[in-house]
Structure 1
Amino acid sequence: MKAAAVRFYFDADILGLAKVVGALRPDVTFPGDPGAQMHGLVRAPCAISTTDTPDTVWIPYTAAEEMIAITRDGRISQRVAELAAVIQHGARLVVLTSADAGTVWGQLEVLMTQWRRIERLHELPGPFIYRASRSSLQAVELA
């Protein structure tokens, strides 16, 4: 079997969503992901093995692996260390925002509504943070 090209990392704060999407797509990983085989591809276990891995560790990892990281942490762009990690490492993040993203079902709805636009973000170099809701996908100004 051929190795899967993992393109998306789901943060621990949306682990329920990560497990749903990871069961369907070989290009998705998340903290503690044991790996998977599907569609003739093998996804290796995630190098981030625990859900308590600090943002300042997984952000550089996802940037180095050229992944888009998806999280629900709406304050990530306001924290000095996390924002510095995004900028320094050229990370690419999508934040699921609004009350719509409060449950796994709501997170799935936001993700699926914006999925094609999120996939196109792979064409853009980092660093960037986008906020995703059911109705929009908007860039956050990195100051």
Structure 2
Amino acid sequence: MSRPQLATVRFFIDADLRGLARLVCQERPDITYLGDEGALIRRRFRPPCPIPATAIKDVEWIPEVAARGWLIITRDRKIQQHTRERHAVRDHRAKMVNLFSDDAATIWTQLEVLLTRWREIEQMHAEPGPFIYSLSRTGQRRRISLD
């Protein structure tokens, strides 16, 4: 039997979507989240998340996630009002997708938005940062100002 290969993590799910993160990380070796202990999925080993604390502020983990080239998936109802977080995205050239909060109130509806928009999110990973897009289940895509 061959040894498992190391997975390449490409996506990071914020703590405000922890239930969703635990669900999708059972199937995807390329997604991690705060406090993720790592996993072996289909002969791919996802290492533990390098950001172990779940009580860390966004402005502290955004630079590390951005430096790794990971696309951030979050659900921040007040992203437009959180100037420090938007500036952290801008200053560290992060890539962020914000699930539209009215469409993502429960783990089930979060999963629905994520799966409905997954191919588009994968394409966004290849785009250069910085950016924040708000995505709805029904196809709305709105760019959030970083200033």
- TM tier relative to shorter chain: over 0.9
Q: Which residue of 2 aligns with 1:96?
A: 99
2:10 is aligned, of 7, 18, 28, to 7
Aligned to 1:142: 146
**Aligned mates of 2:39, 2:143 — CA distance in 1:** 32
User: 5+ residue gaps in structure 2?
Assistant: none
Q: Does the residue aligned with 1:83 lie in a helix, a strand or coil?
A: helix
Identity, in percent, stands at: 48
Query: Which of 123, 126, 139 is residue 123 of structure 1 equivalent to?
Result: 126
Which amino acid counterpart does residue 53 of structure 1 have in structure 2? I
Larger Rg computed on CA atoms: 2
> Separation in 1 of the partners of 2:8 and 2:80?
27
Match of 2:77 in 1: 74
Matches within 5 A, 1:35-54: 35-54=38-57
Q: Confirm or deny that 1:30 pairs with 2:33.
A: yes
SS for the counterpart of 1:24 is coil
Following TM superposition, by how much is the alpha carbon of 1:108 offset from its aligned partner in structure 2, in angstroms?
Answer: 0.3
- In the comparison of the two structures, how many residue pairs are matched? 143
Q: In the alignment, what sits opposite 1:85? A: 88
Partner in structure 1 of residue 110 of structure 2? 107
3-state SS, counterpart of residue 45 of structure 2: strand
Distance 1:14 1:121 in 2: 19
Q: Residues of 1 paired with 2:80 and 2:61: CA distance?
A: 15
| Counterpart residue identity of residue 88, structure 1 | D
Q: Deviations over 1:9-33 (max 9, x none)?
A: 0000000000000001000001110
Give the TM-score taking structure 2 as reference length.
0.92
The 2-side partners of 1:80 and 1:46 are apart by: 26
- Runs of 5+ in structure 1 lacking a partner? none
Q: Cα deviation per residue 1:25-47 (whole Å; 9 max; x = unaligned)?
A: 00000111000011221100001
TM-score, with length taken from structure 1: 0.95
How far off its partner does 1:75 sit? 1.9
Which of 62, 67, 77 aligns to 1:64? It is 67
Runs (4+) of structure 1 exceeding 3 A deviation are none
Give the counterpart letter for 1:36 in structure 2: A
* Equivalent pair of 2:73/2:96 in contact (CA under 8 Å): yes
Alpha-carbon separation, structure 2, partners of 1:75 and 1:138: 14
